[in-house]
Amino acid sequence: PNLAFRISFLLYFLFFTGLVELITVTTPQKYVNVTKGGNVLLQCMFVSTEEETSSLTIQWEFDSSSAPAVGPEQCGVASSKCCMRFSDTFQICYYQSGKVAITSSYEGRLQPPFSPEISKNASITLSNMQQSDAGVYSCDIHNFPDVEGRSQANIIVNVFEKPSVPFCSVHGNVETGHPVTLTCHSEHGSPKPAYTWTRADAAQATKTLMLPQVCNSVSPATPTGVLKFSNVSQFEFGEYQCNASNVLGFEACTVELNPELGAGVIAGAVIGAILGCVLIALVVWFIVHTVKKQKYKAVNVAEFLGSQSGVRVLPGVRKLS
């Protein structure tokens, strides 16, 4: 009875587990990080209980909509391409009976599986990876009649890029007591760079950021790159450096925070005032000149009319036909 029980248990086990789960597809790496321009091996292996592999099919698909938003290109100020999340799954490679079909846009940079019937290895290699290649890749394998089981496995690919040289700029009226903001932004970089600010001028020996909230030489790293002075003082005037960094590296830019801009505005105002005075002088001169001319004309007309008809016209009275 014991043996019979064991056999029946084994049969049940085979029926519910062994027989049902006929094909198993696995991806040893669930997450892969690649640098922009680099190559990536998307590993996918399978095990099939069916010995015959003549009807083996392998399909690789890519879904960019599930890309983790790591780059400013994808979710930054510069672009609105971001945040529009739509399902965008398409086939990039199809293998069947020793034949391979590669989607035209991937031709030349996709290395298809090599004799997967023997190696049970459906891995592909993608070269020259770009930000647009970040997303989920799925490996779908069928080996008829093995149609049940775990026939699909995914790999999430991140494409990393060093920050590009950031742009530093000053916003606001640089005058004592005014609020001033320094901004810093890298066009490219993935993961999104973190920005820190430091005093860059050698004159400031301590190189301390004169901010009430920062008693340190380096500002806390922010994802926005904004450094605010709510009430700028002369001690804060100087040169500032922004450092944009991520796991791949860093780039920096510097900016001058001083009232030269304010001086420029004052100079502009002075020049404007001078020009205004000149304009007023011109207008006054023109009016005076015109009035003089008209007086002269009127006198002439009066003299002429007087001589012609004897009608007396007082000098200075305009009588124009």
Q: What is the contact surface with ligand NAG in residues (CB under 6 A)?
A: 31, 33, 41, 43, 45, 114, 121, 123, 158, 177, 191, 231, 233, 243, 245, 247, 250, 252
Residue number, 63 or 68, with CB nearest to ligand NAG? 68
Length of the chain: 321
Bridge partners of 140, per DSSP, are 59, 152
Residue number, 138 or 245, with CB nearest to ligand NAG? 245
**What is the rounded distance in angstroms from the CA atom of residue 96 to the CA atom of residue 163?**
42
Of the candidates 184, 181, 217, which has an alpha carbon nearest to the alpha carbon of residue 200?
Answer: 217
| All residues at 6 or more sequence positions from 99 whose CB lies less than 8 Å from its CB, including other chains | none
Residue number, 45 or 129, with CB nearest to ligand NAG? 45
- In the complex, what is the shortest distance from the CB of residue 290 to ligand NAG, in angstroms, rounded to a whole number? 52
Residue number, 154 or 245, with CB nearest to ligand NAG? 245
- In the complex, what is the shortest distance from the CB of residue 204 to ligand NAG, in angstroms, rounded to a whole number? 15
**What is the rounded distance in angstroms from the CA atom of residue 62 to the CA atom of residue 102?**
13
Burial class (CB in 10 A: 0-12, 13-18, 19+), 32: middle
DSSP state of 146: B
Of the candidates 91, 95, 92, 69, which has an alpha carbon nearest to the alpha carbon of residue 82?
Answer: 69
- In the complex, what is the shortest distance from the CB of residue 245 to ligand NAG, in angstroms, rounded to a whole number? 4
- In the complex, what is the shortest distance from the CB of residue 84 to ligand NAG, in angstroms, rounded to a whole number? 23
Residue number, 121 or 224, with CB nearest to ligand NAG? 121
What is the three-class DSSP state of 210? coil
Per DSSP, the residues of 89-109 read EEEEEEEETTEEEE-GGGTTT
Residue number, 48 or 298, with CB nearest to ligand NAG? 48
Q: How many CB atoms lie within 10 A of CB 166?
A: 24
What is the three-class DSSP state of 166? coil
- In the complex, what is the shortest distance from the CB of residue 9 to ligand NAG, in angstroms, rounded to a whole number? 34
Residue number, 143 or 245, with CB nearest to ligand NAG? 245
**What is the rounded distance in angstroms from the CA atom of residue 264 to the CA atom of residue 269?**
9
- In the complex, what is the shortest distance from the CB of residue 106 to ligand NAG, in angstroms, rounded to a whole number? 16
- In the complex, what is the shortest distance from the CB of residue 225 to ligand NAG, in angstroms, rounded to a whole number? 13
